[in-house]
Amino acid sequence: MLHIDEKRLLKIFQETGKDSFKLEELEKYLPREKILRVSLWLKGKGLIEIDEKKRERVRVIKKEDFPERKIAKYLKERNLKEIEIKELKNILNKEEINAALGAIKRKGIAKIEKGKIIFENLDYEDEEERALNEIDGKTVEEVDKNLLNILKKRGYIEIEEEKEVNIKLTEEGKKLLEKPIEIEEEISQLTRDIIISKKWKKAYIRPYDVKVPTKPIFPAKVHPLTRIIREVKEILLGMGFKEVKSPIVETEFWNFDMLFEPQDHPAREMQDTFFLKYPTEGEIPKELVEKVREVHLRCWRQFDEKVSRRLILRTHTTASSIRYLASLSEEEKKKNHKVFCIDRVFRNEAIDYKHLPEFYQCEGILMGDNVNFDNLIGILKEFLNRLGFDKVRFRPAYFPFTEPSLEAEIYVEGKGWLEILGAGIFRPEVLEPLGIEKPVLAWGIGFSRLAMLKYNLTDIRELHKNDIDWLRRVIG
Q: Known binding site: residues?
A: 318, 401, 403, 426
- How far apart are alpha carbons 370 and 301 in whole angstroms? 31
Give me the residues that bind ligand PHE (CB under 6 A), please.
Answer: 316, 318, 363, 399, 402, 405, 422-424, 442-444
Q: Which is nearer to ligand PHE, 67 or 444 (CB)?
A: 444
Question: Least CB distance from residue 447 to ligand PHE, whole Å?
Answer: 12
- How far apart are alpha carbons 471 and 209 in whole angstroms? 29
Q: Which is nearer to ligand PHE, 14 or 255 (CB)?
A: 255
Q: Which is nearer to ligand PHE, 433 or 444 (CB)?
A: 444
Q: How far is CA 69 from CA 91, 99, 120, 461, in A?
A: 11, 11, 14, 61
Q: Which is nearer to ligand PHE, 441 or 457 (CB)?
A: 441
Question: Least CB distance from residue 315 to ligand PHE, whole Å?
Answer: 7
Q: Which is nearer to ligand PHE, 2 or 377 (CB)?
A: 377
Helices (H) and strands (E) in the chain, counts: 19, 17
Q: Which is nearer to ligand PHE, 308 or 321 (CB)?
A: 321
- How far apart are alpha carbons 466 and 476 in whole angstroms? 17
Question: Least CB distance from residue 296 to ligand PHE, whole Å?
Answer: 19
Tell which residue, 61, 56, 53, has the closest CA to residue 142. 56
- How far apart are alpha carbons 323 and 451 in whole angstroms? 27
Question: Least CB distance from residue 321 to ligand PHE, whole Å?
Answer: 7
Question: Least CB distance from residue 463 to ligand PHE, whole Å?
Answer: 19
Q: Which is nearer to ligand PHE, 156 or 426 (CB)?
A: 426
Q: Which residues pair with 48 in a beta bridge?
A: 169
- How far apart are alpha carbons 351 and 238 in whole angstroms? 35
- How far apart are alpha carbons 428 and 402 in whole angstroms? 9
Pick out the residues of the known binding site for L-phenylalanine.
Answer: 318, 401, 426
Question: Least CB distance from residue 457 to ligand PHE, whole Å?
Answer: 21
Question: Least CB distance from residue 363 to ligand PHE, whole Å?
Answer: 6
- How far apart are alpha carbons 70 and 82 in whole angstroms? 13
User: Residue 469's CB: how many other CB atoms inside 10 A?
Assistant: 8
Contact indicator for 229, 267 with CB cutoff of 8 Å: no
Q: Which is nearer to ligand PHE, 296 or 316 (CB)?
A: 316
Q: Which is nearer to ligand PHE, 67 or 424 (CB)?
A: 424
Closest residue to ligand PHE, based on beta-carbon distance: 444
DSSP state, residue 433: G
Question: Least CB distance from residue 450 to ligand PHE, whole Å?
Answer: 14
- How far apart are alpha carbons 79 and 74 in whole angstroms? 9
Pick out the residues of the known binding site for Mg(2+).
Answer: 403
Provide DSSP, 183-235: ---EESS--HHHHHTTGGGTSEEPPP-TTS-----------HHHHHHHHHHHH
In 3-state terms, what secondary structure has residue 423?
strand
Question: Least CB distance from residue 350 to ligand PHE, whole Å?
Answer: 18
In 3-state terms, what secondary structure has residue 359?
strand
DSSP state, residue 414: T
